[in-house]
Structure 1
Amino acid sequence: MKNIWEKVLTELRGSVSSDIYATWFKKIAYHQSPEEAEGKLTLTVPSQPHLQYLRKNWADRLQSLASQVAGQPITIKFLVAQTANPIIPTEIELPLFDPPGEEIKPEISIDQLAEQCGLHRGLTFDTFVTGKANEVARSSAEIVSSQPGTQFNPFFIYGGVGLGKTHLMHAIGRRILENNPKAKIRCVSADVFVREVVDLSSGGTFSDAKIKKFDETYRTLDVLLMDDVQLLAKKGGTQNHLFGIFESLLPNNKQIIMTCDTYARQLSDFDDRLISRLTKGLSVGIEPAEFELRAAILFKKAKQQGLELPEDVAYYIARRMNTNIRELEGALNTVIMNAKVYNAPITVELATRALRGMTSTGPISLENIQKETAQHFNIKIADMYSSSRKASIVKPRMIAMYLAKELTQKSLMDIGSSFGGRDHTTVLNAVRKISKERAADPELNHTLHLIEQSLKNWA
């Protein structure tokens, strides 16, 4: 019988996605029964919810595969492994199918469980398109989802707007829930968390009942996922509550996952204790999608809508929309809607008309580069032209010169002239220095990506 089950697993491995196989079938173990009867296959599963899922979605398939492999009718029975000792099954034997006449209690689906936890149904690993810009973040997220609380805790995902941070965070929560439907998970945006904290003292006084309910909600979680943590800046009271939650969850190996628009150590107006906790685990960045990844996303999104997107159209949109994935999807939807309204095929000509006025490419001026860089580093625009040698001004000025060379067609002489009449060799030295540092410093590389993305939004 063990040989039969191994062959069934081989069939399943070749016919279902690796995610489904790892989640639902890899964890099923063959059980050697002392009185194994002919035509009866006994297996163990990790939990009752696991069995309920198999009953609902795979009963016919498993029974059929086992019978085909054996060449005779096979009856499958399951034992649910004990939580404390998964090697020793319980004495209760559970059939794959519900017994005839048994009242079937309504089961809550994974989708419903996910929604109750605040997770979006469509944001899964299966719908996340991977490329060079996000492959490290994706691989790390897979590890976190399979071993929550054991390593990479907290898990901090940072990057610009619309690059997939939220998608990846929800995918982790979804996978954890699929592996353990009983996990207590809460996914919340930072602005909602702020409102919850403010509500604790509505009316001017703190409510003991509200505080108790708040603590019960957050301090007993198995997994906390929080989006856009940068929105907690300057909110000291809210940060104190979050710090208390960290102190309750982390020592008990409960997983914390957060997204942010910048690296944790670059957060301003944040409690140092909180920043220390945020950087304790693993921080991974998601960079703007490269051309190949943008094209792959377009193909996949179109396919989800039942469309085969022509290659030349996908490449056209990918070249024109290069700021973030959210805008990329919006452009695709605009093209598809235009094709439906005018009952016309999707062509480059149609895409050109549909996207007129909303493309993200265009000329970037030296003035905009100086303004955006000065704003990012909180210095005056006049500092770009000044003779100041303060480190807090020199570095941003060099970065602006580097970006001017990278993002415009201006000569070194023109760039130097716009920075207070500096010599072209000064600009060249700045470009070389920042280029070298960018290759060696992931934090600087991320900063430059953020400024570049903002500049493309100017155009």
Structure 2
Amino acid sequence: MEPSSRPPDPGRNPPGPWDGFLVGPENSLAHAAARELARGATGESPLVLIGPSGSGKSRILEAMAADRVSRNSGAAIALIPGEVFVSDCHEAGDLNSSEAWSELRLRYRNLDLLAIDDLNPLSRSPLALAELEPTLDELDAAGASVAVTVRDDPGRWESWPRRLADRLRAGLTARIDGPGPPSRRRFLLDRTRARGVAMTAEAIDLLAEAADGYRTLEGWIARLELNARVDRRPIDRVMAAALLADDEATAPAASIAEISRAVASRFGLRVRDLRSSSRRAALVVPRHLAILLSRELTRSSFASLGAAFGDRDPKSIRHACRAASIRIANDPAIASVAEAIRRKWADAPA
């Protein structure tokens, strides 16, 4: 949840991990299971949350982890994007030393709670899949909890090691459907009220009908709030319609070049800026985003991506994917840009 733009009231208690979380028919089972896991129950482990991008899976993991910490400040918890686990495994593999693998296993196997947001990137990494299975074994033996999110139904996990897939299927699987229009309207009302943003009912209705999930709405609110401040007027239907028209622009088939052009355009850059060696922050963030989206939408290898982005080595490309994943998880505006570009190639493999 985004912090309120209003000053905190010293007489009120700080917000709890689940404050502002919208529970509806789309996510009630997932919400209940996550709260049990936060309390330390292991009967729901591994908890596998399945749902489309923007359905609120990440929000549940974040709240669950924060809830666990609030109950036990000494709990050892790791909440990471799947790309980070893949990157860490490949970094250990690149070093090819027992010390590197020992450090990685110490990091992920001595936990009270391991939460991995989006396992899908692991399907492209046999090394990470091979490491995840014994990691789950050791955590289970130690009585630790595990929660993961995926976009695909377990029935589509045939390419995974059978024992690993069976272990995940044996846990509690909770499907999260994309929020319906009523839930999306509630979300918009709650978020705009918390941020002190004025939005007309007509704009709320338009955005609620057009959105595909909460993450998209978060990004739209952030962008519209900035527009409203610049124009010094409330967010009305005209302003919302202009944003939707911008996001619904069509694009050709996904390729590294086309994705790079789309990202560069969003940030007011040239494609050659993304391929340059400059480490300026204004270039690094969009470069990392372009690399991650190219990886997701084209399934290009790290080597191919390195060649396309200024002859960078595979290790640098993995780092870029990791950094972009973390940025998307923590920056609604960047998440909105990423989702808008993904939607342009909705039929491409993700």
Q: TM-score, normalised by structure 2?
A: 0.64
The alpha-carbon distance between structure 1 residues 227 and 350, as it changes in their structure 2 partners (threshold 3 A), is: closer
The counterpart of 1:180, out of the listed 43, 48, 72, is 72
Deviation per CA, 1:99-154, whole angstroms, max 9, x where unpaired? xxxxxxxxxxx9xxxxxxxxxxx9942132222222221122122212332x1110
Q: Secondary structure at the match of 2:80?
A: strand
Amino acid at match of 1:328: L
Residue in structure 1 matched with residue 114 of structure 2 by the alignment: 224
- Mapping for residues 264-413 of structure 1, pairs under 5 Å: 264-319=154-209, 321-358=210-247
Aligned pair 1:160/2:52, yes or no? yes
Structure 2: any 5+ residue segments left out of the alignment? 1-9, 251-341
Q: How many residues are paired up? A: 247
Give the Cα–Cα distance (whole angstroms) in 2 for the partners of residues 208 and 169 of structure 1. Answer: 31
Q: Residues 186, 344 of structure 1: CA spacing in aligned structure 2 closer, same or farther, 3 A cutoff?
A: same
Could you tell me how far 1:244 is from its partner in structure 2?
A: 0.7
Q: d(CA) in 2 for partners of 1:359 and 1:128?
A: 28
SS in 1 for 2:115: strand
Q: Which of residues 27, 30, 34 is equivalent to 1:137?
A: 30
The alignment's C-alpha RMSD in Å is 3.0
Taking structure 1 as reference, are residues 296 and 456 closer, same or farther at Cα in structure 2, changes over 3 Å only? farther
SS in 1 for 2:110: coil
Cα distance in 2 between the residues matched to 1:201 and 1:359 = 41
Partner of 2:63: 171
Moved more, 332-341 or 132-141: 332-341
Moved runs in structure 1, 4+ residues, more than 3 A?
453-458
Which structure would you say has the larger RCO, counting Cα contacts within 8 Å and 6 or more residues apart? Answer: 2
Structure 1 contact 228–260 (Cα < 8 Å) conserved = yes
53, 63, 88: which one aligns with 1:196: 88
Taking the aligned partners of 1:223 and 1:284, their CA distance within structure 2 comes to 18
| Structure 1 CA distance for aligned equivalents of residues 16 and 238 of structure 2 | 32
Tell me the distance in 1 between the aligned counterparts of 2:248 and 2:21.
24
Deviation, structure 1 residue 327: 1.7
The aligned amino acid for 1:331 is W
* Residue aligning to 2:101: 211
Measured after TM superposition, the shift of residue 349 of structure 1 is 3.0
Residue 199 of structure 1 and its aligned partner are, at CA, apart by 1.8
User: Counterpart of 2:34 in structure 1: which amino acid?
Assistant: A
1:126 aligns with 2:19: yes
Specify the alignment match of 1:398 in structure 2: none
1:379-458 paired onto structure 2 within 5 Å = 457=346
1:246 is displaced (CA, Å) by 1.0
- Contact 1:265 1:279 survives alignment (8 Å): no
Q: 1:234 to 1:346 in 2, by over 3 A?
A: closer
> In the aligned structure 2, how far is the partner of 1:192 from the partner of 1:357?
31
Q: Which has the larger radius of gyration?
A: 1
SS for the counterpart of 2:179 is coil
**CA deviation profile, 1:23-43 (whole Å, cap 9, x unmatched):** xxxxxxxxxxxxxxxxxxxxx
**Structure 1 residues 212 and 333, CA gap change in structure 2 (3 angstroms):** closer
Deviation at 1:241, TM superposition (A): 1.2
Read off the aligned partner of 1:342 and give its amino acid letter.
D
1:454 Cα deviation from its structure 2 partner: 7.3
- Distance in 2 (CA, whole Å) between partners of 1:303 and 1:282 is 35
The Cα of 1:266 is off from its aligned counterpart by 1.6
8 Å CA contact 1:335–1:351 kept in 2: the answer is yes
Identity over aligned pairs, percent:
22
Task: State the AA in 2 paired with 1:209.
Answer: E
2: CA distance, partners of 1:312 / 1:269: 46
Structure 2 letter corresponding to 1:244? P
User: How far, CA to CA, are the matches of 2:98 and 2:16 in structure 1?
Assistant: 36
Closer, same or farther in 2 for the Cα pair 1:180/1:342, shift >3 Å? same
- Distance in 1 separating the partners of 2:207 and 2:240: 8
Offset of residue 234 of structure 1: 4.1
**Aligned with 1:126: secondary structure?**
coil
Aligned to 2:304: none
**CA deviation digits over 1:314-334, x for unaligned, max 9?**
112112x23222222222233
**Mapped partners of 2:234, 2:140: distance in 1:** 54
> Is the CA contact (8 Å cut-off) linking 2:198 and 2:235 kept in structure 1?
no
